[in-house]
Amino acid sequence: MERGLNTRCLHLEETEGKTEHYGALSYPIYQTATYAHPGAGKSTGYDYSRLQNPTREHLEKTVASLEGGIDAFALSTGMAAITLLMEIFEPGDHMIAEADLYGGSIRFFDNVSKKNHYEFTYLNCSKDDIEGAIKGNTKAIYIETPTNPMMNVSDIAAISRIAKKHNLLLIVDNTFLSPYFQNPLKLGADIVIHSGTKFLGGHNDTLAGFIVTNSDEIKEKLRFLIKTTGAGLSPFDSWLILRGMKTLGIRMEKSQENAIRIANWLKEQHIVKKVYYPGLPEHPGYEIIKRQARGFGSMITFDVDTKEHAWKIIESVRMIKFAESLGGVETLITYPTTQTHADVPDEVRIQNGITPCTLRLSIGIEDIEDLLAELSYVFHLPE
């Protein structure tokens, strides 16, 4: 019987009953670059920390357990994870990608991957015809669900059936829901991506990225590539993510509880024109996310009536911070036009629904009364 998610955030079954590391409950930070060998042709199991490090290995096994994968790869940032993943493809390969991706992913695909002669077709994968975009050189479908920042929800299992029919890889960025709320591999995905900086770390104090897979072939390719390209996560940062993950479940539950209250509050404000939150029954992806996930998350995007109101809100917050990140214990507000999606061309940004009136909230674990009081103050300042 598989153990619960909160238990797996804390314990690896393979280490139970052992008294290694002097019984330390906090997994040790093996802050070493290299390892001494007992003799020629002999190894302790670790040779050089670019290849592997005990702290990073423990983290990778924990993340793989949470996602239901056979292996995970911890990288220095989320973008480092995407960079490494793209190395499994060849020049001339074509990918279908979600149009409403995180702006940094689009920037990478359009300025680095295309330079390396990869082709991309961007679609709204929650409603556009994916199968009609498949070509002879198509190798993968790359999605986020929910998307960043417009919260579009794609049916992972349905897209997986398309991918398998055409012998394509399905890659899912699972950052917004984390493995606590959603497990794409169990729905038919081949690869899962995370910015570990966000919910997995949860404290806005380190950067990290993850790739998780349930394919032996992909595992072997990535294990070779991570030691060859050298962007593996450092021992100390691995420890910070391990520490953060111990409270993943209770953070996700509290943040979601706050988010549902705030999403409904936003709907009642006269300057708010639309709220994008998949936990609202009127959201077009509500039934899909109920079917494929265990929760709705704590990310909310909303449109106000004017750019001036948007700017007034971000310049007036006090406890809520105007900052470019998400998934931490603190509530943050982001202005996608000049922050997360600043490098996305204006026409593409507008087509995806991101306007100068669009704001994004990452809801934290503060007391809901304090969050609502701050928002009420900010929204009702005199003109």
173 is catalytic: yes
In this structure, what token pair is assigned to residue 83?
């960079």
102 is catalytic: yes
Give the span between the Cα atoms of 284 and 288, in whole angstroms: 8
Q: Which of 8, 56, 198, 251 is catalytic?
A: 198
Residue for token digits 């962007």? 231
Closest CA to 187 of 139, 249, 145, 140: 145
Q: Which of 30, 56, 93, 102 is catalytic?
A: 102
Q: Which of 173, 190, 237, 303 is catalytic?
A: 173
Give the span between the Cα atoms of 353 and 276, in whole angstroms: 11
Query: Do 313 and 322 meet the contact criterion of CB atoms below 8 Å apart?
Result: no
- Give whole-number Cα distances, 114 to 82, 107, 108, 183, 268, in Å: 14, 10, 9, 30, 44
Running DSSP on this structure, what letter comes out for residue 205?
A: S
Query: Do 197 and 237 meet the contact criterion of CB atoms below 8 Å apart?
Result: no
Half-sphere CA count of 98, side-chain side, radius 13 A: 28
Q: Which of 46, 50, 128, 321 is catalytic?
A: 50
Would you say the C-alpha torsion 105, 110, 114, 115 has a positive or negative sign?
A: negative
Which residues are tagged catalytic?
50, 102, 173, 198
